Structure 1
């Protein structure tokens, strides 16, 4: 019985002209555009939320030379790591700021210092003719962060 129905449908279709249009539908396809606009909207909203949750970088505001070292002023507390490399003191500070350099006096001898911008933040280098040792501590002060670096010659 199924075969008879299929033959009858074929016969009926062979005698009738095709009812589809020969040219493409001139109406625009709105559904792909709708999906693309929704995807773009949620992407932009996600970017804005991510930007709001991303903390602002710590900024170096000022550098002050003291009798035995240096004071660095930041807008908030940075992460600080330091090491002694061949008699020089090298500090890596997770902050942003401009590059600067200068010289300070320690026990009547010159100590060259340099603040460099790098990928990981700021590098603070202290170099002298004699090996240096350094100590540092930070404290909050009036809405800012003061990092005090005390230098001394190694014995």
Structure 2
């Protein structure tokens, strides 16, 4: 190892790289284009978020309209009917009559989505069922006194 001569390739001098210096740039460009195309395809295939459109009062309960079917979790706690929707929307409140008695309802935003609560002076029981109608999702909530 007296010099950097490459007589028999046993010296510490690195060999000359014959590959083009553009190869890493081409691979990097292809990776960036691939990521961008993937993001565009993902954006096109993402479903639109579920949104509360309106709440209608009927004789024995409510009709709640959504643009598509939401995930629903419902409970009856101490005579109160509570439904949690995995959806977006505006807060609202109102009142309806059940057997000549007032029932207050309220939609408010929570950490998991929208929370609909129905409260009356007497304990309530509720049943709900949803169906698709006119390219929208209709959820009927029927109430009874316990």
Deviation of 1:139 (Å): 1.8
Distance 1:119 1:79 in 2: 14
SS at match of 1:51: helix
Number of equivalences: 131
- In the alignment, what sits opposite 1:3? none
- In the alignment, what sits opposite 2:103? 111
Deviation of 1:100 (Å): 0.7
Unpaired runs of 5+ residues, structure 2, are 6-20
- In the alignment, what sits opposite 2:141? 149
Unpaired runs of 5+ residues, structure 1, are 1-5, 13-28
Distance 2:112 2:36 in 1: 28
Instruction: Indicate yes or no: 2:124 matched with 1:132.
Output: yes
- In the alignment, what sits opposite 1:120? 112
Moved more, 34-43 or 117-126: 34-43
Following superposition of structure 1 onto structure 2, how do residues 1-150 of structure 1 map, counting pairs within 5 Å?
Answer: 7=2, 10=3, 34-150=26-142
Q: Cα 1:112–1:11, aligned 2, differ >3 Å: closer, same or farther?
A: closer
Q: Cα 1:33–1:118, aligned 2, differ >3 Å: closer, same or farther?
A: farther
Deviation of 1:104 (Å): 1.3
Greater C-alpha Rg: 1
Distance 2:98 2:46 in 1: 41
RMSD: 2.3
